[in-house]
């Protein structure tokens, strides 16, 4: 009867305190010891290289809103979200975070984090409403204002040219990425933008997540333009996206100011040795090369692997030697969007170079079911890229997690699950940099809650909570965590 009314959790806490010789009252009243007292000197923290860039990231369509203002043309996502049943909560990004009007406020959010870098994307239909033809001066004016605001606040801008918002006019005219005409149009757009922003932007990413935009937009149809094509056409779409990247690299080179750097931002298929033995590590490397053969491998090697072509067979894309030469135009860095372990790998048997292991139903995940928790992905993704292709400069262009993010009675969001996720992934990133893997910077996804594509506003990835009715931005506990990481340049 002694424990009636006492929860097991409360009892366990009291028992733990008792074992340490601390009463419940004294534990509550005890002051937190200083970092020095518990051995958290700077020398013992997982410190990153002195030049390491800490940043955050967003994309145009997910935050800007103002879809019909100042001459912006419609994108494939504008049409897609207004189709019934395409977005889980039936929402649209017509307003989103209203960043188009609130960009100065949002730049201050970045500054308050202490972040010195910001990765944003430029909306192609805002600059070229028809995809090609006459540019829209008011569209570029917005990005000029944003860039000036960032620089005035000591924040280095990193621009992404394409984050999925293809002008609808190109979808209607050419079938979008089903045609190499879109690849050429993208290069023209890239050259125009670079010519006007490279006086202030020194790092430009071409295309964000080819793997996602191709498979989800043209394979499963869950993303815009919502197509479900046969595999041969999917592979051709991927080839045209790769070609668009390569032609855009050439356009950036031709139009950028001296010192302008360019590269892709890709969510590669991250292959992890299930157990770290030499044989399994080698198998994971081979798997990384082959499972990314349709895009990143082609960019870095200038060819499609024999394995990829044999597997594709009659579904292989049509291409020319000139295509491959353009696709493999020299790049300055590789951006990696790392969220999950895509594959756990062991050495193969019977002549197979690797074997992919199944995920058990009990494998842990975050608020989004697809977001499996595998911090080691943050080590192996950049390590493989550096070793396989001798890449000398890598950025983690996205990493973060959705969380339930319930607002407490005090109006605050105590997102300790997000902190857990980030801390563990950053620990693995530190393992990589401490071993000499050339990661130059990290951009957390995302600055603030936003429109999460087919999930609408149901999933929240931001460091800042957004009330989409009032547009109020409120820092979550994770902002304090990330601010401290930046301040110490270390995992905390």
3-state SS assignment for residue 37: coil
Residue 294, C-beta contacts closer than 8 angstroms, at least 6 positions apart: 235, 238, 239, 242, 304, 308
CA–CA gap between residue 304 and residue 225 (Å, rounded)? 26
Residue 48, C-beta contacts closer than 8 angstroms, at least 6 positions apart: 430, 433, 489, 490
The secondary structure of residue 202, as a DSSP letter, is -
Residue 263 structure tokens = 């590269």
Residue 38, C-beta contacts closer than 8 angstroms, at least 6 positions apart: none
* Angle formed at CA 236 by CA 232 and CA 241, multiple of 5 degrees: 150
Phi, then psi, of 416 in degrees rounded to 5: -70, -25
Query: Any bridge partners for residue 53, and if so which?
Result: 441
Number of C-beta neighbours around residue 224 at 10 A: 27
Q: Do 183 and 239 touch, CB atoms closer than 8 A?
A: no
Cα-based distances in Å from 331 to 47, 62, 482:
28, 27, 30
3-state SS assignment for residue 167: strand
Residue 221, C-beta contacts closer than 8 angstroms, at least 6 positions apart: 227, 228
Question: Closest Cα to residue 71, out of 147, 144, 146, 125?
Answer: 125
3-state SS assignment for residue 162: strand
Number of C-beta neighbours around residue 368 at 10 A: 17
Active site positions, annotated: 209, 398
Cα-based distances in Å from 419 to 228, 423, 474, 483:
37, 6, 16, 12
Phi, then psi, of 153 in degrees rounded to 5: -105, 15
Number of C-beta neighbours around residue 27 at 10 A: 14
């Amino acid at each position: 009867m002694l424990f009636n009314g006492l929860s097991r959790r409360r009892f366990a806490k009291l028992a733990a305190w008792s074992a340490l010789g601390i009463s419940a009252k004294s534990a509550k009243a005890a002051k937190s010891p200083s970092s020095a007292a518990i051995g958290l000197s700077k020398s013992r923290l997982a410190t990153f290289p002195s030049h390491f860039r800490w940043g955050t990231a967003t994309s145009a369509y997910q935050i800007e809103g103002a879809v019909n203002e100042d001459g912006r043309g419609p994108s494939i996502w504008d049409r897609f979200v207004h189709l019934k049943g395409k977005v889980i909560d039936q929402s649209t990004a017509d307003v989103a975070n209203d960043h188009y009007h609130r960009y100065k406020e949002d730049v201050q959010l970045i500054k308050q984090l202490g972040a010195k870098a910001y990765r944003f994307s430029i909306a192609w239909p805002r600059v070229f409403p028809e995809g090609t033809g006459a540019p829209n001066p008011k569209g570029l004016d917005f990005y000029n204002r944003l860039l000036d605001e960032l620089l005035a606040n000591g924040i280095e801008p990193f621009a992404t040219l394409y984050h999925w918002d293809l002008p609808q006019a190109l979808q209607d005219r050419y079938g979008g990425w089903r045609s190499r005409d879109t690849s050429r149009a993208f290069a023209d757009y890239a050259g125009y933008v670079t010519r006007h922003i490279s006086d202030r932007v020194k790092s430009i990413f071409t295309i964000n997540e080819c793997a996602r935009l191709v498979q989800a937009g043209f394979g499963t149809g869950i993303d815009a333009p919502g197509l479900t094509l046969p595999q041969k056409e999917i592979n051709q779409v991927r080839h045209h996206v790769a070609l668009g990247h390569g032609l855009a690299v050439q356009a950036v080179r031709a139009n950028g100011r001296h010192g302008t750097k360019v590269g892709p931002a890709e969510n590669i298929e991250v292959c992890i040795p299930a157990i770290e033995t030499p044989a399994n590590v080698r198998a994971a490397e081979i798997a990384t090369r082959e499972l990314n053969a349709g895009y990143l491998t082609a960019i870095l090697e200038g060819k499609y692997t024999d394995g990829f072509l044999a597997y594709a067979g009659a579904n292989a894309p049509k291409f020319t030697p000139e295509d491959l030469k353009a696709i493999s135009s020299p790049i300055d860095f590789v951006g990696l969007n790392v969220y999950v372990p895509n594959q756990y790998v062991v050495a193969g048997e019977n002549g197979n170079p690797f074997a992919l292991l199944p995920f058990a139903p009990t494998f842990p995940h975050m608020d989004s079911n697809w977001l499996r928790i595998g911090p080691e992905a943050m080590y192996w993704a950049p390590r493989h890229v550096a070793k396989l292709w001798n890449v000398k400069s890598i950025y983690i262009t996205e990493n973060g997690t959705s969380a339930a993010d319930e607002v407490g009675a005090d109006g605050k969001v105590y997102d300790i699950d997000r902190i857990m996720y980030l801390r563990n992934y950053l620990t693995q990133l530190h393992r990589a940099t401490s071993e000499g893997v050339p990661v130059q910077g990290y951009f957390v996804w995302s600055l603030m809650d936003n429109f999460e594509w087919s999930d609408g506003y149901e999933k929240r990835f931001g460091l800042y909570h957004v009330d989409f009715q009032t547009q109020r931005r409120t820092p979550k506990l994770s902002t304090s965590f990330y601010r401290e990481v930046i301040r110490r340049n270390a995992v905390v």
